[in-house]
Structure 1
Amino acid sequence: MSAELQQTEIGEFPAAWSIGRVDSAFDIQQGKQVSKKNRDGEHQRPFLRTKNVFWNRLELTDLDEMHFSEAEQTRLELQANDLLVCEGGSIGRTALWNNEVDGCLYQNHLHRLRAKDGKAHPQFGVYWLWYAFDVAKLYFGRGNVTTIPNLSQSKLAELPMALPPLPEQKKIAHILSTVQRAIEAQERIIQTTTELKKTLMHKLFTEGLRNEPQKQTEIGPVPESWEVVKLGNHIQIAHGYAFKGEYFVSVGPTVLTPGNFKLDGGLYWGKRTKYTTESYEPNVVLNPGELVVVMTDLTPTAKLLGGPAFIPEGRTILHNQRIGKVALKSAKTTLQFLYWIFLSEPFKRYMRQTATGSTVRHTSPSKIYQYAFGMPSLDEQAQAIDCLAKVDAKLANAEDKKRALQDLFRTLLHELMTAKTRVHEFEITA
């Protein structure tokens, strides 16, 4: 081993870094227990729960309140640069407090860490715990495991952590925070573009693009040139084949299920994607470009019911009974336009209102056929599709950038916390 490196219980680190317990760098305090008795009292104050704490982020839109005595307020009131660490649930999940809410306190399922003796930079502490708990799993098995996993104050106190010299901690925190801010910027773009898309869809499907005078119809006002039609006049929907679960395997042709559909349209291939070795007829193979919709939603909310997707190229995809295949029987519209109709809020609301079943929600071709909407000319349909496609492209671009930045962040988190990459390799600017 190089003289400049030291071997420790949590890995190999530069000799200039110290390896200490968490309580060597932070004062630790657990919060107040939430109970009916503790809620009664005149000193009602906002407090944080584990559901408010995410990695390097606090969600403060839904703060609870309970009574805290004056002594408890003195002991538990948060200060800027305090770390909040989850004791239960997602053990170790940590965020930094920056005085976002005046006089805020915290419950007993959170630990408050406050830097002491100038040994730790608070933001570095957040990133170290993120690395140790979530990325490297350094502390796996160190929590108390009963019926509910938890991280007691004594266990947290004794966890080892690497502590570079304070200037190096600050530089590491600066680099990682720069990437985090870039991720947040993309998240804001995604949020803004999503709202734009929602507003644009409403305008396109109620007012159109040509500022026409409107007429009153059974579905409300629509442009004068539009025709109010039912889907059943223009499409037919076919169910697929009931593939048997006993033939599901980890590789093979893909059996399309509701679990492959995104809420905002399209497909993805996650861990729950089904593959089969069962024999099947050629007519159950879905062709690239075909439009499909969800006919059965396995959740009570029915948010996916009626959700659309086009079949992509690149894999064999099989049509099962929980999915409907949409075919045109009219030349007055296109599958591309109907895709956006299926994504519209009025159609989603109609699907929820007409669904059957309690735990598992179902629709049927006959119910979908009864949905009425305003249909513009083919030319105006094409213009609407083009507008929405451009917004979707901007959204996809921001999502791609966000994923790339998230990958970069996790790579840097590992490289910097293990000293595989040192901060002197980066030029730090204010």
Structure 2
Amino acid sequence: MKTVKLGEENVAEVILGQSPPSSAYNGTGHGLPFFQGKADFGLLHPIPRVWCDAGQKFAKAGDVLMSVRAPVGDVNVALGDCVIGRGIAAIRAGIRSDPWFLYFALAYSKPILESRATGSTFASVNKATLVDLDIPLPEMPEQVAIGSVLRLITEKIEQENLLITTAQDIKRVSMRDLFTRGLRGEPQKETELGLVPESWDIVTLGTLGRIGNGSTPKKSVRDYWEGGTFPWLTSAKVYDRDIEAADQFVTKTALDECHLPIVKPGAVLVAITGQGKTLGHCAVLRIEATINQHVAYLQTDTSKADSGFIRGYLETQYDYLRQVAAGGGSTKGALTCSFLRSLSLPLPEIKEQREIVAVLDAIDRKIDLHRKKRAVLEELFKALLHKLMTGEIRVDELDLSALDRVEAECEEAVA
């Protein structure tokens, strides 16, 4: 495929942003939207958070907005006139380029721009680097067709993101109601946890089963790891929510000598330390496994408590658990098994617990479906972006009926 320099005549105009005085900013919608970095970007279009009633550099509707300071090379498309700050360049299509094709061609060029960025503190690219960038440029009808196909897939990804967010919002509202009102329409009573149905008890996690945590066998001892077959889990696995497989394994020697607990299926696992968002996440164990010291387990008495119910309630307490770990627990930066044993939760009779779990599981399946669809679409987009930009395939060779099969295949996988 023919390539040209981005700054060639009639291909594109490059406009570097310039930040106005901070006194010109406002959060009330007065003036034009102001964008100054990748933090403002959505999937396709930027999201205004700040407005500006005085600016020196402007973008117009359809301009490609590019982050020119770390992270370098991320792109969005301006929905209308806006002010751009020093972290943004507006790239305006000329008569030789289709705006949407230009957007995807620049998205494809991100690795090249990253490799050309300079600066030890904040990597950035200058106007000369952008103007000198090689981009593919087929004939205009092919550009339009490529832009349309890739935009269609991107919009479908954006739609799946919206559906995931909507389903997660529904789940949050449902959880709040389910754990305070139940499913029986009972009158409520006031408790230490707030209002709950009259027939529900308030119990502590420690009354429902055994609580403990694990350890990490020394990596330097080969007998603990080499040829290991027993699943050993870290706190990263709690993101699975239902843990059905392990990534690491220990030997029987490690189990015997390192005092590792053997945790049975049905236990609830909680990340009690962790960087980022890990701490406070929980999952239900579906296999027999052992754990490291950053994970606590609750081996429940299943005649008293459904593990899915406990996981669901703990998910509503995520922010509280993190607050405790940040300062209120006995060990700063971590939860303790002692704290978990004393943690109170509302508990209906077992049949209602399972009915509540069934409601939450149905919502989770819906979320999982949309995540799977999004993942398939993202892989399709990456493959097509490369093949179309390199000329490996042409738009008229594509079978877009594959998009129609994504939903059916993903629904079958989740069912």
- Relative to the length of structure 2, the TM-score reads 0.83
Equivalent-residue separation in structure 2 for 1:319 and 1:166 (angstroms):
58
2:104 maps to what in 1? 127
Q: Decide whether the 8 Å contact of 2:35 with 2:48 is kept in 1.
A: no
1:89 maps to what in 2? 70
- Greater Cα shift, 385-394 or 210-219: 210-219
1:187 corresponds to 2:161: yes
Equivalent-residue separation in structure 2 for 1:388 and 1:45 (angstroms):
43
Equivalent-residue separation in structure 1 for 2:121 and 2:199 (angstroms):
64
Q: For each residue in 1:172-230, what CA deviation from the matched residue of structure 2 results, as whole angstroms up to 9, or x when unmatched? A: 01111111111112111111110111111111100001111112223222212111222
Q: For each residue in 1:19-68, what CA deviation from the matched residue of structure 2 results, as whole angstroms up to 9, or x when unmatched? A: 2100111111111146xxx3346997542111345485234242264743
Equivalent-residue separation in structure 1 for 2:327 and 2:398 (angstroms):
58
Q: Structure 1 residues 405 and 361, CA, compared in 2 at 3 Å: closer, same or farther?
A: same
1:31 corresponds to 2:17: yes
Q: Decide whether the 8 Å contact of 1:55 with 1:130 is kept in 2.
A: no
Q: Structure 1 residues 51 and 269, CA, compared in 2 at 3 Å: closer, same or farther?
A: farther
Which one of 318, 330, 335 corresponds to residue 348 of structure 1?
318
CA RMSD of aligned residues (A): 3.2
Equivalent-residue separation in structure 1 for 2:53 and 2:158 (angstroms):
32
Give matches, 1:230-241, under 5 Å.
Answer: 230-241=204-215
SS state of the match for residue 95, structure 1?
Answer: strand
Q: For each residue in 1:68-99, what CA deviation from the matched residue of structure 2 results, as whole angstroms up to 9, or x when unmatched? A: 3xxx2xxx222111111111112111111121
- Greater Cα shift, 390-399 or 228-237: 228-237
> What is the letter of the counterpart of residue 322 of structure 2?
R
1:209 corresponds to 2:183: yes
Give matches, 1:11-160, under 5 Å.
Answer: 13=1, 18-24=2-8, 25-33=11-19, 38-40=21-23, 46-54=33-41, 57-63=44-50, 65=52, 67-68=54-55, 72=56, 76-99=57-80, 104-116=82-94, 118-133=95-110, 137-139=111-113, 141-160=115-134
Q: Decide whether the 8 Å contact of 1:53 with 1:93 is kept in 2.
A: no
- Could you tell me how far 1:252 is from its partner in structure 2? 6.4
Equivalent-residue separation in structure 2 for 1:156 and 1:22 (angstroms):
7
Give matches, 1:372-387, under 5 Å.
Answer: 372-387=344-359
- Could you tell me how far 1:277 is from its partner in structure 2? 8.3
- Could you tell me how far 1:323 is from its partner in structure 2? 1.0
Q: Structure 1 residues 189 and 23, CA, compared in 2 at 3 Å: closer, same or farther?
A: same
Q: Decide whether the 8 Å contact of 2:263 with 2:299 is kept in 1.
A: no
SS state of the match for residue 135, structure 2?
Answer: strand
SS state of the match for residue 115, structure 2?
Answer: coil
Q: Decide whether the 8 Å contact of 1:32 with 1:108 is kept in 2.
A: yes
Q: Structure 1 residues 275 and 86, CA, compared in 2 at 3 Å: closer, same or farther?
A: farther
1:173 maps to what in 2? 147
Q: Structure 1 residues 426 and 154, CA, compared in 2 at 3 Å: closer, same or farther?
A: same
> What is the letter of the counterpart of residue 229 of structure 1?
V
2:411 maps to what in 1? none
Equivalent-residue separation in structure 2 for 1:143 and 1:269 (angstroms):
41
1:5 maps to what in 2? none
Q: Which has the higher helix share?
A: 2
Q: Which has the higher strand share?
A: 1
- Could you tell me how far 1:357 is from its partner in structure 2? 5.5
Equivalent-residue separation in structure 1 for 2:53 and 2:242 (angstroms):
44
Q: For each residue in 1:316-370, what CA deviation from the matched residue of structure 2 results, as whole angstroms up to 9, or x when unmatched? A: 85411111121125732222221212212xx324323432569962111221122
Equivalent-residue separation in structure 2 for 1:52 and 1:280 (angstroms):
46
> What is the letter of the counterpart of residue 26 of structure 1?
A
Which one of 205, 214, 237 corresponds to residue 260 of structure 1?
237
SS state of the match for residue 7, structure 2?
Answer: helix
> What is the letter of the counterpart of residue 348 of structure 1?
Y
Equivalent-residue separation in structure 2 for 1:356 and 1:403 (angstroms):
34
- Greater Cα shift, 275-284 or 137-146: 275-284
Which one of 196, 201, 220 corresponds to residue 194 of structure 2?
220
- Greater Cα shift, 325-334 or 400-409: 325-334
| Structure 1 alignment gaps of length 5 or more | 1-12
| Structure 2 alignment gaps of length 5 or more | 402-415
- Relative to the length of structure 1, the TM-score reads 0.80
